[in-house]
Structure 1
Amino acid sequence: MYQKVIFFLLSFGLVLGVFGQDRLPYQDASLDTETRIQDLLKRMSLEEKVGQLSTLLGWDMYEKEGGKVSHSKALEQAVQERYIGSLWATLRADPWTQKTLVSGLDPELAAKATNAIQDFAVRQSRLGIPLILAEEAPHGHMAIGTTVFPTSIGQSSTWNPLLIEEMAKTIAKETRLQGGHIGYGPVLDLAREPRWSRVEETYGEDPYLNSQMGMAMVKGFQGESLQSGENIVSTLKHFAAYGVPEGGHNGSGMSVGQRELNQSYFPPFKAAVGVGALSVMTSYNSIDGVPSTANPYLFREMLRKQWGFNGFVVSDLGSISGLRGSHHVAATGEEAASLALRAGVDADLGGNGFDKNLVAAVQKGMVEESMLDEAVANVLRLKFDMGLFENPFVDPSRAKQEVRKLEHIQLARQVAKESITLLKNEGNLLPLSKSLRKVAVIGPNADNIYNQLGDYTAPQPESNVVTVLEGIQNKIGKENVEYVKGVAVRDTTQLDIDLAVAAAKRAEVVVMVLGGSSARDFTIEHEDTGAARVSQSNGGIISDMESGEGYDRMTLDLMGHQLKLLQAVQETGTPVVLVLIKGRPLLLNWAAENIPAMLDAWYPGQEGGNAIADVLFGDYNPAGRLPISVPVSVGQLPVYYNYKVPKKHDYVESGAEPLYAFGHGLSYTEFVYEDLQVAVGGDVENPTVSVTFQVQNRGEMGGDEVVQLYLRDLISSTVTPIKQLVRFERAYIPAGDQKTFTFELGKEEMQLLNMDMEWVVEPGEFDLMVGASSNDIRMSQIFEIK
């Protein structure tokens, strides 16, 4: 109660102290937002306007001493000398920020810190403008003591947008309660290059699945009202075509035509903007020689003119300066700043790209002040619409009570369960019996909390995270489980293969937990952008990190001695279940041939251990589906399912098909598809196609099935995909029961960009395919649009 009184007095004191009795028009909440923006703009100096576009790194803006927090000298300087408008990652904790469980903030202290920051900003700035606080939030708020969900590639493996929307609501609430206003995410880049380090941050290789997941995140983040106190703005990343860099090198340029941009790379962003996304981030790469951050076609033409975007565009960290330092399209900082502003970039993440450079550019006539005013208005609009001028503070007691509460932990477990994909189950080895009395749990990812959380994760108390070892122990008791690490993910000096083999021989079954890691430690160096810098060992222990921003791969093999460990344990003859925890597809050829059962869990988050154990022991029937293809060799790349015709032919060494295709995933029960009915109506101007079919569960266990609809235009004036996902649905079907699925398709699913770059539906035949994956088509029917 005492904290709530203090919170009220703090808010009331702000109103009296800053605004006094006579409010200026921009301080009057009864006026419309545009009137308030124009009034405030007229009162701002050039330097104050430019300052509003600066988003500085936030973790140095507070000071912590024991259980108390306050604003820092760095904040005073930033507000009083640079007139900043925003902070980023204020509550972030990780090796880059050097914030630990000791030096960082728990949720209650985080809320107090953001209150202290806002209090100084509104009291000590000339115009009393509150700050926007942006936070990383792709699979949970990247702060200490929050709920950590599976990374995005795992989220999309659920094929359940409604569940992801519920997850996003939870992330938004935890972020807003601590004082954050923007969540960076979702990442809508198509992941068609698995060597790229950031695959884990994406929803996979397909534009339609990406669109559905992206819309779910935006709706969950932003909700019905940004003034709810529990919602945040969603920042879409990274515009555009960032996920297919040449050679897998993070941030490298790529060449792609306008047709492919519009048909594959733009749709997820367009869909997310269509449901109201209010922020978009530029990307580090260039497209056909034009850096994203200097590309007006992306932001002024597509985003604003064609899609009607009404939010603000923020640069990726340091990407404005990168126009000079990386891309070499600008000779000076002033040129770089003017290029970005002219392209439609409204905010400068990092704060060193605009700042004095943009002030000088305006003064020299390199860019019009009216264009600056437009960018400032786009930033201020969010502050007014969120109600920050009236209430910039949060209640620390709510943050303490409601961040990572029981319901959120249960949701994290549900998302993790639904994300787990059963790749193989030879002889129905799974599910395991709970009466087992000797289970060997082996591998570097079996009992390592940070290896299962993924990149963009803050340090968390060990008690907050359940590992696979602990999840199995929770099912059958510690006394029935023997654990041996065996090897490290990468380091080859840590070898306990003999101990692992001995444990396997004593066991009734072995659960091997292998894969990769995006876990940063304090020995890892970082680029100015925050990406991890790949470095070779200097004679010490090599970090497990082989994925995560900056850690691009040349091969996709299991690293270190993991395969050697797997082979040695398999040779014992004890049945082996392979559980994969990782951030990108890895080559699994030997395992697919020799290991009877395999689960893919990606990075499953804090409840990953319990979720994996639920699946292993049959308390949950797995129904995850791959959102990205698993190659046989890096020589196949790219190997995404919806490539353009003609059909690929085999190589000399091997076939062209992936090991596991997009949409693949097995179940503990058997689903049978039947009675496909397709009804066609309309014409090319307004085609309608109704699809109905039955799915029957003929097994002995209830479970979810993920039905998938694919479409192929058989004759088209421009080259189209071999097949394209157009609908899907995940639904529970009890054992012995059946369900009717009905879908409606229209112009959007059948249109293409013709030779004149016009969206049209062309008359002719289409092949409709219904199946359990992109290469497991159960029924098909050709229909005609006239």
Structure 2
Amino acid sequence: MRRSTIFYSLILISVMGLCLAFDTPRTGDLKFRNPALSIEERVNDLVSKLTLEEKVGQMLNAAPAVERLGIPAYNWWNESLHGIARTPFKVTVYPQAIAMAATFDTNSMHRMAEYTADEGRAVYNESVKAGHRGIYLGLTYWTPNINIFRDPRWGRGQETYGEDPYLTANIGASFVRGLQGTDPVYLKAAACAKHYAVHSGPESSRHEFNAEATDYDLWDTYLPAFHKLVVDTKVAGVMCAYNAFKGQPCCGSDLLLNNILRNKWKFTGYLTSDCGGIDDFYQKHKTHASAEDAAADAVLHGTDIECGNVTYKSLLGAVQHGKISEKQLDISLKRLFTIRFRLGMFDPPAKNKYAKIGAEMLETPEHKAHALKMAHQSIVLLKNQNNVLPLSKHLKKVAVIGPNADNPISVLGNYNGTPSEISTPYKAIKAKLGNNAEVYYDQGISYTSESYTRNIDLGELGTINGQKGFKAEYWQNGTLNGQPAVTRQETAINYIWRDGTFVVGQVSQKNFSARWSTNYVAASNDDISFELTGNKPYKLIIDNEERTLSGEPDGFGPKTYTLKAKKGQSYQVVIEYRQTEGRATFSFKSGVAIKADVNAIAQSVKDADAIIFVGGISPQLEGEEMRVNEKGFNGGDRTSIELPKVQTDLLKALQSTGKPVVFVMMTGSAIAVPWEAENVPAIVNAWYGGQSAGTALADVLFGDYNPAGRLPVTFYRSDKDLPPFEDYTMKNRTYRYFTGKPLYAFGHGLSYSKFNYGSLQIPATAAHGKNVLVKVKVTNTSKIDGEEVTQLYITHQGLKTRVPIRALKGFQRNLVKAGATKEISFVLKPQDLLITAQDGEQKFMPGTITISVGGSQPTQVSASTRQTISKSVLLR
């Protein structure tokens, strides 16, 4: 062979290799590989070439490769709730979903979703180049969660956009549009609306729970956001819920799936189960006799993908036994491959602009700046008596106290990624004040008790070979035998290793082992706790003796051991870890057991010029199906919405010092704080604010940012305000139907500026089927520039049928300069004026409505900060 021929052959082989890395053509005679054909033609051709066994495999979330056709493996399961989640890459983490809803800013949400899709494309493209196709690396994101946060006890409410259907629909639509992009051919990423549709706890019974709701509540509350995303926004995917609705599992519901989603709404995208949800058909709900019956029925109801990879494997038998036809599987497969083609997975990278996005798009300055912006925007100033806030930057001593004051876990929320840097309140306040003030920190208490564990920095725990931290050794085997492949010093042990990734250097995450060693010298006689969390075998060895760990029985953790240390004594601490298959996680931390005294804490800070208590709750207490053994919490949910008593006790002690006290709440849900609302001069709700949470909070507390966030949920006064958790009717729930007096209402939020409303322009009558133009003027009467969230509510007057007390139908967030006036316009569309009849039908009802416009609900006006004005309109 001539040298030139060899040269060009090598070039051709290299190009083909690059094409394979990006899922592009490798077999020229396959019709589905031809990008000149329509997606429909290509999908039909591909599906026609699959065997029955291959078809079943492609309906699992971990779809295997079909090597004979050059179809690579693909895992459908990925998350991007508030930034790319659970990835081995460092990514930008935005505020938790409930916090982003508190911004009342669809433009910020859209931009955040665009940036998230950029980072998701970067993760996918870099992973494919490296040959990694495992979980949390794909482009199908099972987000957003647009369930209605009907009850503050639900632990996953933090993942939602709040309690209002209109706010949820509009924030959710902005997210979907930003994530999916505007290309006429390709999806930038594929969003998925979940959990369809009547789903919001309890977590402990979600696998067997049967939700009951009236037709009115279904269409008035639970479905509007899904309708918006499916019909108007063209979301690529939908996830059905675990629970049953009206006796049928949601992933096999005649009403929800066949009648509404596929027939009425004409949804053509893909439908996935929640993870393990099809197993529940026959194992929990007991509505189906076997795995075959469950799998067949789910597919017949349009559930195309099973997350869980178990029950759908029985589809092979279901077809062979005549329970479902192979052609029915083809319907699902065509939907699934249509999404993959729309994501450009079978086209040359040159045709798809999104295929060019690389690692340079991870954690860009623009992305990090936007994470800070949204953290700023999300903060809600609940109370500011006598203008305690903003605090002066010239204070000499500031005390920062509380379980969330320096907790990086809380600021990240759940369903989160990992950023390169995390800002906590204590660190941010210390950075802001610099050397001008003493910033004193003390965790003080735990969330629910005076007893807690003060974490020890692993870099300070011990030394080995003259260096602080741990000697870390990694082997490319599961036995810890032979020469380590990598040896290095580490000061933190907190890892998530995903399929196809490297642990360190060239050590693959599959079939590896690790050992961490240090020498600890006890500084006191305090008990030292060691906590290990992981999903594979691990050991704690102290002084050559393996110690018995206590904790969860399933081996996942956390597991703990308490060492009764003696001051001055040295202990050799060794942790061993083995991983032989699949993905893996492992973390290790240590701490000293503390029993606090709230009065002693108060005495220690009585000389401070200001006291900032950062409390609330944490994603360590509320979330998805969690094991939590703390009073007031169960299974990820809350059994009480009241602030844990120990925090109120500490706040009372701090208040008794006579120094200004600021209470900062971190939370993903509403907390009842009646004593604090009455007695603490300043209260700030900071949610779980993402990677820049601390910086944003410090900016608000010291006047470098003027807060304007609004509550997307009602803050009730006590547990007594709540109906039973399992009751899915909306009677006396959310601001739309609650007849009591809330502590802080939906839409509430203060500012350092003052705003007045005037010149409300609304037509006296509104004709059926016509838009209604509403204009209002907002004046900033203060000397401080500020953003104002203007809200529009509608109240139907005198109707005998059931309607909301009032309903949000418009909102805008605008900057209004000091002393300036801005005219705000809203357009009410015909559907905004409809009511929901008892049978669920949307109807126009002639009569009188009241339109109210202001900075809050019309009955929740603070005269010192803003007003709401209203006018009546005759509908005819």
TM-score bracket, normalised by the shorter chain, equals: 0.7 to 0.9
Residue 504 of structure 1 pairs with residue 461 of structure 2:
no
- Give percent identity, aligned residues only: 34
Structure 2 residue aligned with 1:69: none
Residues 580 and 249 (structure 1 numbering): CA distance in 2 closer, same or farther, change over 3 Å? farther
3-state SS, counterpart of residue 29 of structure 2: coil
Residues 428 and 440 (structure 1 numbering): CA distance in 2 closer, same or farther, change over 3 Å? same
Residue 163 of structure 1 pairs with residue 122 of structure 2:
no
Residue 19 of structure 1 pairs with residue 29 of structure 2:
no
Q: How does 1:470-619 map to 2 (within 5 A)?
A: 470-477=427-434, 479-494=437-452, 495-496=595-596, 497-498=598-599, 500-519=601-620, 531-536=624-629, 550-559=635-644, 561-619=646-704
Structure 2 counterpart of 1:740, which letter? E
Deviation at 1:491, TM superposition (A): 4.5
Residue 176 of structure 1 pairs with residue 176 of structure 2:
no
> Which of 146, 150, 153 is the aligned partner of 1:188?
146
Deviation at 1:337, TM superposition (A): 0.6
Structure 1 residue aligned with 2:363: 404
Structure 2 residue aligned with 1:784: 874
Q: How does 1:630-779 map to 2 (within 5 A)?
A: 630-638=715-723, 640-644=733-737, 648=739, 656-680=740-764, 683-684=767-768, 686-716=769-799, 718-754=801-837, 757-774=840-857, 775-776=859-860, 778-779=868-869
Deviation at 1:532, TM superposition (A): 4.3
Structure 2 residue aligned with 1:308: 266
The answer (yes or no) to whether the contact 2:215–2:839 under 8 Å persists in 1 is: no
In 1, Cα distance between the equivalents of 2:142 and 2:184? 16
Structure 2 counterpart of 1:742, which letter? S
Alignment RMSD: 2.8
Deviation at 1:250, TM superposition (A): 8.4
Structure 1 residue aligned with 2:50: 44
3-state SS, counterpart of residue 117 of structure 2: helix
The answer (yes or no) to whether the contact 2:642–2:718 under 8 Å persists in 1 is: no
Structure 2 counterpart of 1:506, which letter? D
Deviation at 1:744, TM superposition (A): 1.6
Residue 10 of structure 1 pairs with residue 17 of structure 2:
yes
Q: How does 1:140-151 map to 2 (within 5 A)?
A: 140-142=83-85, 143-144=87-88, 145-151=90-96
In 2, Cα distance between the equivalents of 1:581 and 1:740? 34
Q: Greater CA deviation, 690-699 or 303-312?
A: 303-312
Deviation at 1:384, TM superposition (A): 1.3
Query: Residue deviations 1:274-333, cap 9 Å, x none?
Result: 112010001112222221011032122212222222210000000001111111101100
> Which of 287, 290, 295 is the aligned partner of 2:253?
295
The answer (yes or no) to whether the contact 1:512–1:578 under 8 Å persists in 2 is: yes
The answer (yes or no) to whether the contact 1:146–1:403 under 8 Å persists in 2 is: yes
Count, aligned residues: 689
Residue 269 of structure 1 pairs with residue 362 of structure 2:
no
> Which of 193, 199, 220 is the aligned partner of 2:178?
220
Deviation at 1:682, TM superposition (A): 5.5
Between Structure 1 and Structure 2, the one with more strand by share is: 2
Residues 491 and 745 (structure 1 numbering): CA distance in 2 closer, same or farther, change over 3 Å? same
Structure 1 residue aligned with 2:156: 198
Q: How does 1:50-129 map to 2 (within 5 A)?
A: 50-56=56-62, 84=63, 121=65, 124-129=67-72
Structure 2 counterpart of 1:676, which letter? L
Query: Residue deviations 1:431-482, cap 9 Å, x none?
Result: 1111111111111100010121111124555xx1010011111211155211
Deviation at 1:248, TM superposition (A): 9.2
In 1, Cα distance between the equivalents of 2:199 and 2:186? 33
Deviation at 1:687, TM superposition (A): 3.3
Structure 2 alignment gaps of length 5 or more? 1-10, 125-137, 453-594, 724-731, 862-867
In 2, Cα distance between the equivalents of 1:531 and 1:591? 29
Deviation at 1:245, TM superposition (A): 4.7
> Which of 708, 711, 714 is the aligned partner of 1:626?
711
Structure 2 residue aligned with 1:358: 315
3-state SS, counterpart of residue 376 of structure 1: helix
Query: Residue deviations 1:473-521, cap 9 Å, x none?
Result: 121115521111101123442343355313421210011100111138x
Deviation at 1:634, TM superposition (A): 1.2
Deviation at 1:268, TM superposition (A): 0.5
Deviation at 1:395, TM superposition (A): 11
The answer (yes or no) to whether the contact 2:23–2:71 under 8 Å persists in 1 is: no
In 2, Cα distance between the equivalents of 1:734 and 1:672? 13
3-state SS, counterpart of residue 707 of structure 1: strand
Deviation at 1:44, TM superposition (A): 1.0
Residues 418 and 45 (structure 1 numbering): CA distance in 2 closer, same or farther, change over 3 Å? same
Structure 2 counterpart of 1:28, which letter? N
Residues 422 and 640 (structure 1 numbering): CA distance in 2 closer, same or farther, change over 3 Å? farther
3-state SS, counterpart of residue 92 of structure 2: coil
In 2, Cα distance between the equivalents of 1:508 and 1:641? 39
Structure 2 residue aligned with 1:76: none
Q: Which one has the largest radius of gyration?
A: 2
In 1, Cα distance between the equivalents of 2:24 and 2:678? 72
The answer (yes or no) to whether the contact 1:193–1:248 under 8 Å persists in 2 is: no
Structure 1 alignment gaps of length 5 or more? 57-83, 86-120, 525-529, 537-541, 649-655
3-state SS, counterpart of residue 822 of structure 2: strand
Deviation at 1:752, TM superposition (A): 2.0
The answer (yes or no) to whether the contact 2:150–2:734 under 8 Å persists in 1 is: no
Residues 613 and 756 (structure 1 numbering): CA distance in 2 closer, same or farther, change over 3 Å? closer
Q: Greater CA deviation, 482-491 or 724-733?
A: 482-491
Residue 28 of structure 1 pairs with residue 29 of structure 2:
no
3-state SS, counterpart of residue 728 of structure 1: strand
Between Structure 1 and Structure 2, the one with more helix by share is: 1
Query: Residue deviations 1:19-40, cap 9 Å, x none?
Result: 34x3211111111111111112
The answer (yes or no) to whether the contact 1:519–1:545 under 8 Å persists in 2 is: no
Deviation at 1:378, TM superposition (A): 0.5
Structure 2 counterpart of 1:128, which letter? I
Residue 434 of structure 1 pairs with residue 385 of structure 2:
no
In 2, Cα distance between the equivalents of 1:248 and 1:332? 21
Q: How does 1:337-486 map to 2 (within 5 A)?
A: 337-355=295-313, 357-391=314-348, 399-460=358-419, 464-477=421-434, 479-486=437-444
Structure 1 counterpart of 2:842, which letter? W
Residues 13 and 255 (structure 1 numbering): CA distance in 2 closer, same or farther, change over 3 Å? closer
In 2, Cα distance between the equivalents of 1:578 and 1:166? 31
